[in-house]
Amino acid sequence: MPAHHRSARYGRYAGGPDPLAPPVDLAEALEAVAEDVMAGYSPEEALREHLRRGGSGQEGLDDLARRVHRRRQELLKHHRLGGTLDEAKQLLEKALRLEREQFLRDARMDPMDRSFRELQLDGLPASTAAAVSELASYDWQSRDAREAYEQIRDLLGRELLDQRFAGMKQALENATDADREAVAAMLGDLNELLDKHRRGEDTEEDFRDFMDRHGDFFPEDPQSVEELIDAMARRSAAAQRMLNSMSPEQREELMQLSAQAFGSPGLMAQLGRLDANLQALRPGEDWTGSERLEGRDGLDLGDGTGVFQDLADLDALAEQLSQFHRGATLDDLDLDALARQLGGDAAVSARTLAELERAMRDSGYLRRDPDGQLRLSPRAVRRLGRSLLRDAAQRLSSRAGRRDARLAGAAGEPSGATREWRFGDVEPWDTTRTVTNAITRTAAEGADPREGLRLGTGDIEIAETEARTQAAVALLVDTSFSMAAEGRWVPMKRTALALHHLVSTRFRGDRLELIGFGRYARQLDVGELTGLPPLREQGTNLHHALLLAGRFFRAHPSFQPVLLVVTDGEPTAHLLPGGESWFSWPPEPETVRATVEELDRLGRAGVQTTFFRLGEDPGLARFLQRMAQRVGGRVVTPEVEDLGPAVLREYLGSRTRRRGFER
C-alpha cells in the first residue's frame, strides 16, 4: 500500500517517562520545604516531609505506602493455603467414586473380588496422602478412575516444579515421559552447576552451556550465574515461607504426597538438593518467615509461592518508601516492582517524586555547608522571599481595595531632568536619550548605525528623581519559645523574609538589620533566621535587642532610623554590666527599667518606632502602649496571619512620613 494511504494509530506512550510531561513543580516544593524549615525542621527533614505528603494532584510516599499496605492486606485476606491438598483430595474422591461405579456396572466381576476391593477402598486412611500412598499398587478396574489417580501424582509433580520455576505447572500439563526426562536432566545439570559455583570452580562457559541446553526453562533470561541464583533463590525462599506458614498437619500431608510426584521419588531428591544449594548460596534471603492467610481462595503450591513473592516485594517496597535508613534516596525505589504490584500509575508517581528530589538537590536551592549539613541556599531564600512578598502584597491590596503602588520600585518621583549614569546608580534609564547618544556616537565614529548599534557606558543617561532619605531599618523579632508554642514562629519568619526581599530588591538604598531576641539577642542574616529552630529557653531580652539596634543605627548616622519590634511577651530578661542575661518571671523592675532606658535613648536619636503586639496578654498591651507613648511611636495588633502585611505597611508608611519630614 502506498505510504500516503497508510493509516496511523495513536495510543498511550509506553517507552518510559512521558517526554511531553510538564516539569516537576519546584516552586511548590520549595515553598513547602521552606515552610517546614521555618517551623524548625532541617532542610533534609523538610524535603523528606514534602516527598511523603506529595503536592497538589501528586501522590506522596505516604499515599504509595498506604496502597502497598492495602495490597498486602488484600493478599492475606483473600487467600488461604492448602489449595493443592484440596485439589488432590477432590481427585482422590473422584477416582474412588468412578471405581465404585465401575463395580456396579461390571456384571461379570467376581463377587468375592468385588467385596474385597470394596473393603480395601472403604478401609483407606482418612489422610489424603496416606490413601494415595496405599493406592500406589492398587489394580484399578476403571480406566477413568486410574487416570484421575494418576492426575494426583502429575499434579504434585507440576506443583512442586512450579514452586521453583514459575509457569511450570501450565507448561507440563499433559506432559509426556520425554518432557519429564527433560525436567530431570535440567535439575541434574542445574545442581551440578550450583555445586561447582559453591566450590568456586564454575566458569562463564559452564553457565553458557547450561543456558544453551536448558534456557527454555528460564523466561527471565538471566545473563550470569549470579542472576540465575538471585531469581531462583527469591522464589525458593518464598516457597519455604509458604511451607512454614502451613499448619503442621498440612506440612506433613504435603510431604507425604510429594513423595508420589510423577511417581518418581527422584524428583523430591533433586528439588531438596536444589533448595539446599540455593539456601547455602543466598543465606540472606528470608528462609524462616511465615504469614497467616485467612481468606477463602485456596492456593496451590505455585500460585502460593507467587503470593509469598508478592508479599516479599510489598515488604521491600514498604521499606523503600519509608526512606528510614541513612543515605536513602528515591532512586532506591524498585519501579518495576511498584508497577507490578500497584500498577503503572504508582510507578509514574514514584518516578515523579524521584525527579523532584533530584531537581531540588541539583537546582541550587539546597546546599551542604562545610559541616555536611544541608541548608537552604541564598538562591532559595531569595525565591522564597519573592513569593512571600507577593503574598503579603496581595493581602495588602485586598484590604485596601487596590494594588499598593509603593511596592513597584525604589526610585523617587521623576524630576524631568536626566544625567549621565554613574556606578552605583539605581534610577531607571532614560531610554530615548540613551539610544540617541549611542546613534550620535556611532555616526561620529564614522560607522553606519544601520549595521548595528553597541551601547557604551558613556551613552547611558538616567532619569533624575527627587531625593529620598535612606532608612536604616531594624526588625526585632521575638524568638522566645512562646512564639513557637503559640503558632507565631513561622509567621514571624515569613514576615522577616518578605521585608528583607522588599528592601533588598525594591529599596536597595535602605539598610535592614534582623535581630532575634530570646534569653539573649543576636544579629541574624536572613538565611540563618529562616533555619533557626525553636529553642526551649526562657527569656524575652528586649533590652539586649535594643542595644544591638542602637549599634546598627549609629553605624548609619546619615540614615533615617526605623525600629520595628515583633513580640508576644513582656521583657523578662536584661543584660547585666558583665554581659550575663538576668531572667525573672514576672518581670522585675530592673528589667523594665533597663529596657525603658534603652528605648528612651533611641527615641532621643529620632528613631521611628512601631511595636507589633501578638496575642491578647493585657500586661503586654499596657507595657507596649506606654513604651510607644514615651517615644511617639505606634502599637499595631495584627492577627498572626496578617503580621507580614502589617509590617510591610508600617515600613512603607515610614517612607511616606520621611518624605513629609523632608518637605
Residue 117 inside a domain? The answer is yes
Domain that holds residue 447: 414-465
pLDDT at 608 over 50: yes
What does the pLDDT average to over 399-427?
A: 56
pLDDT at 542 over 90: yes
Question: What is the three-state SS of 583-613?
Answer: ECCCCCHHHHHHHHHHHHHHHHCCCEEEEEE
pLDDT at 379 over 60: yes
Please state, in angstroms and as integers, the Cα–Cα distance from residue 352 to each residue in 17, 54, 161, 171, 486, following that order: 9, 10, 40, 39, 36
Domain check: are 88 and 74 in the same one?
no
Domain check: are 446 and 546 in the same one?
no
Please state, in angstroms and as integers, the Cα–Cα distance from residue 550 to each residue in 138, 217, 364, 397, 605, following that order: 108, 84, 36, 33, 9
Residue 585 inside a domain? The answer is yes
pLDDT digits (tens, 9 = 90+) for 327-345: 677 888 899 999 999 998 8
Residue 1 inside a domain? The answer is no
Distance CA 524, CA 535 (A): 15
What does the pLDDT average to over 474-499?
A: 89
CA 289 to chain CA mean position, Å: 29
Domain check: are 521 and 635 in the same one?
yes
Domain boundary among 268, 292, 316: 292
Mean pLDDT rounded to a whole number for the chain: 83
pLDDT at 167 over 60: yes
pLDDT (0 to 100) of residue 370? 73
pLDDT (0 to 100) of residue 209? 94
Distance CA 578, CA 575 (A): 8
Q: What's the length of the chain?
A: 663
pLDDT at 308 over 80: yes
What does the pLDDT average to over 127-133?
A: 85
Distance CA 350, CA 582 (A): 53
pLDDT digits (tens, 9 = 90+) for 141-161: 999 999 998 888 888 777 888
CB 241, CB 313: distance < 8 Å:
no
- Asked whether the whole model's pTM tops 0.85, one would answer no
Strands 374-376, 634-636: parallel, antiparallel or unpaired by DSSP? unpaired
Domain check: are 152 and 283 in the same one?
yes
What does the pLDDT average to over 191-213?
A: 93
Distance CA 451, CA 448 (A): 6
Residue 88 inside a domain? The answer is yes
pLDDT at 406 over 60: no
Please state, in angstroms and as integers, the Cα–Cα distance from residue 76 to each residue in 63, 242, 296, 330, 337, following that order: 20, 12, 10, 28, 19
Domain boundary among 292, 311, 340: 292
What is the percent of the chain where pLDDT is above 70? 88
Domain check: are 345 and 229 in the same one?
no
Domain check: are 268 and 308 in the same one?
no
CB 624, CB 594: distance < 8 Å:
no
CB 404, CB 393: distance < 8 Å:
yes
pLDDT (0 to 100) of residue 45? 76
Distance CA 510, CA 406 (A): 15
Number of neighbouring beta carbons within 10 Å of residue 164: 22
pLDDT digits (tens, 9 = 90+) for 64-73: 999 999 999 9
pLDDT bucket at 416, cuts 50 / 70 / 90: low
pLDDT (0 to 100) of residue 404? 41
607 CB-contact burial (10 Å; exposed 0-12 / middle 13-18 / buried 19+)? buried
pLDDT bucket at 555, cuts 50 / 70 / 90: very high
- What is the DSSP annotation of 37-57? HHHT--HHHHHHHHHHH--TT
pLDDT (0 to 100) of residue 564? 94
What does the pLDDT average to over 603-617?
A: 92
User: Which residue, among 368, 183, 166, 144, has the nearest Cα to 261 in the 3D structure?
Assistant: 183
Grid coordinates representing 569 are: 511577651
What is the percent of the chain where pLDDT is above 90? 28
Domain check: are 573 and 651 in the same one?
yes
Grid coordinates representing 272 are: 531438596
Place of cell 527533614: 45
Residue at 49: amino acid letter:
E
User: Which residue, among 396, 450, 413, has the nearest Cα to 663 in the 3D structure?
Assistant: 413
pLDDT (0 to 100) of residue 631? 92
Which helix (H) or strand (E) segment holds residue 229: the answer is: helix 225-245
pLDDT digits (tens, 9 = 90+) for 458-468: 888 887 665 55
Domain check: are 114 and 170 in the same one?
yes
Q: Which of 200-214, 290-304, 637-651 has the highest mean pLDDT?
A: 200-214
pLDDT at 643 over 80: yes
pLDDT (0 to 100) of residue 663? 31
Residue 445 inside a domain? The answer is yes
**For residues 325-347, b (16+ Cβ closer than 10 Å) or e, as one string?**
eeeeebeebebebbbebbeeebb
Residue 603 inside a domain? The answer is yes
Distance CA 635, CA 90 (A): 88
Q: Which of 10-14, 384-388, 596-600 has the highest mean pLDDT?
A: 596-600
- What is the DSSP annotation of 507-518? -TTSEEEEEEES
Residue at 53: amino acid letter:
R
Residue 178 inside a domain? The answer is yes
What does the pLDDT average to over 396-420?
A: 54
CB 571, CB 540: distance < 8 Å:
yes
Domain check: are 189 and 70 in the same one?
no
Strands 573-575, 581-583: parallel, antiparallel or unpaired by DSSP? antiparallel
CB 491, CB 640: distance < 8 Å:
yes
Domain check: are 344 and 231 in the same one?
no
What does the pLDDT average to over 404-413?
A: 45
Domain check: are 331 and 266 in the same one?
no
Q: What is the CATH number of the domain that holds 482?
A: 3.40.50.410
Residue 218 inside a domain? The answer is yes
The beta-carbon contacts of 70-78 under 8 Å, at least 24 apart in sequence, are 71/314, 71/341, 71/342, 72/311, 72/314, 72/315, 72/318, 75/293, 75/307, 75/310, 75/311, 75/314, 76/291, 76/292, 76/293, 76/294, 76/295, 76/311, 77/294, 77/295, 78/295, 78/296, 78/297
Domain check: are 65 and 88 in the same one?
no
Place of cell 555547608: 369
How many domains is the chain partitioned into structurally?
4
Grid coordinates representing 332 are: 532506591
